[in-house]
């Protein structure tokens, strides 16, 4: 990974901290909303601990929306441990706070390790919020450790700060 200027590194970390926002600091009412899953098909395998939703998958809970061709949810001891969304691209969108714009994460594969609190966006990965974005082949984010890493043709766009009138 190339070394980037302090400003770009700071933006990378701030952008990926925003990724944490949509998971851990989403709108408070999101977790109290019903989960709606729409797909062309669903297969649950209790022995493997998986449920696979395929074809035009849409998962919505409050401001959270996941769109993908395929979503696999892994369950251990009746607790979801991992979610994998695959698409061209798969898309995850959520409003972190009532006063903030939606965060949109896109990649051909989105892996969310729930217990480890790690997210990996792989293959054409991007993270956007309010016109600023970061793109690369892979974006890894450790939610708990607040550590981020982007690799593979990293591009960062930072919008100027908005002045209050």
Q: What angle do CA 13, 68, 136 make, to 5 degrees?
A: 30
DSSP secondary structure of the chain: -----HHHHHHHHHHHHHHHHHHHSS-GGGGGSPPEEE-SEEEEETTTTEEEEEEEEEEEETTEEEEEEEEEEEEETTEEEEEEEEEEEEEEEE-SSTTSPPEEEEEEEEEEETTTTEEEEEEEEEEEETTEEEEEEEEEEETTTTEEEEESS-EEE-PPPPPP-
pLDDT at 56 over 90: yes
Domain 6-157 has CATH 2.60.450.10: yes
Give the residue-averaged pLDDT of 23-34: 65
pLDDT of residue 165: 61
pLDDT tens-digit readout, 68-119? 999 999 988 888 888 899 999 999 888 877 887 888 889 999 998 877 878 8
Task: Delimit the domains of the chain by residue range.
Answer: 6-157
Give the residue-averaged pLDDT of 61-68: 88
In angstroms, rounded to a whole number, what is the distance separating the alpha carbons of residues 37 and 44? 14
Q: Which residues sit opposite 120 in a β-bridge?
A: 111, 140
Phi, psi (rounded to 5 degrees) for 146? 50, 45
- Choice between 142 and 110, residue whose per-residue pLDDT is larger: 110
Least confident of 18-27, 92-101, 117-126, 150-159: 18-27
Length of the chain: 165
- In the chain, pLDDT over 70 holds for what percent of residues? 78
Closest CA to 120 of 80, 95, 92, 156: 92
Closest CA to 134 of 2, 4, 8, 5: 8
Report the chain's mean pLDDT, rounded to a whole number.
79
Give the residue-averaged pLDDT of 121-128: 92
């Amino acid at each position: 990974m190339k070394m980037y200027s302090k400003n770009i590194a700071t933006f990378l970390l701030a952008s990926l901290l925003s990724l944490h926002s949509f998971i851990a600091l989403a709108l408070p009412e999101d977790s109290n909303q019903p989960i709606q899953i729409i797909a062309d098909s669903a297969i649950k395998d209790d022995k493997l601990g998986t449920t696979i939703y395929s074809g035009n998958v849409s998962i919505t809970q409050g401001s959270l929306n996941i769109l993908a061709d395929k979503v696999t949810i892994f369950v251990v001891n009746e607790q979801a441990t991992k979610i994998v969304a695959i698409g061209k691209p798969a898309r995850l969108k959520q409003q972190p706070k009532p006063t903030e714009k939606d965060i949109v994460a896109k990649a051909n594969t989105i892996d969310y390790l729930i217990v480890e609190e790690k997210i990996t966006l792989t293959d054409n990965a991007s993270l956007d919020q309010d016109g600023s974005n970061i793109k690369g082949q892979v974006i890894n984010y450790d939610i708990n450790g607040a550590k981020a890493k982007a690799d593979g043709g990293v591009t960062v766009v930072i919008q100027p700060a908005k002045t209050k009138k």
